[in-house]
């Protein structure tokens, strides 16, 4: 077995950078899309990140009366809920546990900051339908 020669290190790094640049240039680039919002029930992903987008994800949610989406967080991402039909409550958990809910009625937009545990519940008698949009948060 041949030993690694440190004299070859610059050539190795240069070759590695060229290979990475080539692969990066071959990666599919995001392109404009038009996607119908069809979902029989529950949570249906629409945009799933790369290669469709550079980090944006989205989906369509339909909740029956009394249903919740379940407690979750989007980590370091921020989230917007575009409420299309129905009414509900955005439950937000703060440093001292669950906070009073934020009621909403369609049409509405609900914003969830990064690192925020939350849940959405349908408080109406009709289905609650909304599109969620999750994007990497970037400090300004």
Give 89-119 pLDDT, tens digit per residue: 999 987 666 677 899 999 999 999 999 999 9
96 occurs within a structural domain: yes
Task: Provide the strand spans (E) within the chain.
Answer: 42-48, 57-63, 77-85, 87-94, 97-98, 102-105, 108-112, 118-122, 128-136
Give 126-136 pLDDT, tens digit per residue: 999 999 999 98
What CATH number has the domain bearing residue 51?
2.60.120.10
Average pLDDT of the residues of the chain: 79
> What residues have CB less than 8 Å from 19, skipping those under 6 apart?
none
What is the domain extent for residue 128? 42-136
- Rounded to two decimals, what is the model's pTM? 0.69
Q: Does 44 score more than 50 pLDDT?
A: yes
52 occurs within a structural domain: yes
**Higher local confidence (pLDDT), 54 or 104:** 104
Q: What's residue 56's pLDDT?
A: 86
Would you say 121 and 61 are in contact if contact means Cβ atoms under 8 Å apart? Answer: no
9 occurs within a structural domain: no
Alpha carbon of residue 58 to chain centroid: 6
Q: Does 25 score more than 80 pLDDT?
A: no
Structure token digits, residue 69: 């989406």
119 occurs within a structural domain: yes
**Higher local confidence (pLDDT), 57 or 26:** 57
- CA dist 100 and 119 (Å) reads 12
Give the chain's domain count.
1
User: What is each CA distance from 89 to 8, 100, 122, 127, in whole angstroms?
Assistant: 62, 9, 7, 13
37 occurs within a structural domain: no
């Amino acid at each position: 077995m041949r030993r690694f020669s440190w004299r070859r290190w610059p050539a190795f790094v240069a070759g590695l950078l060229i290979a990475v640049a080539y692969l990066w240039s071959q990666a599919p680039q995001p392109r404009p899309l038009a996607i119908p919002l069809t979902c029989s029930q529950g949570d249906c992903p629409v945009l799933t990140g790369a290669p469709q987008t550079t980090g944006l994800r989205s989906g369509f949610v339909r909740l029956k009366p009394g249903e919740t989406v379940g407690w979750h967080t989007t980590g370091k991402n921020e989230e917007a809920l575009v409420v299309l039909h129905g009414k509900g409550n955005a439950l937000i958990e703060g440093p001292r546990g669950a906070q009073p809910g934020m009621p909403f009625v369609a049409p509405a937009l609900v914003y969830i900051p990064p690192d925020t545990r939350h849940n959405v519940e349908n408080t109406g008698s009709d289905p609650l339908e909304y599109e969620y949009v999750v994007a990497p948060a970037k400090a300004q």
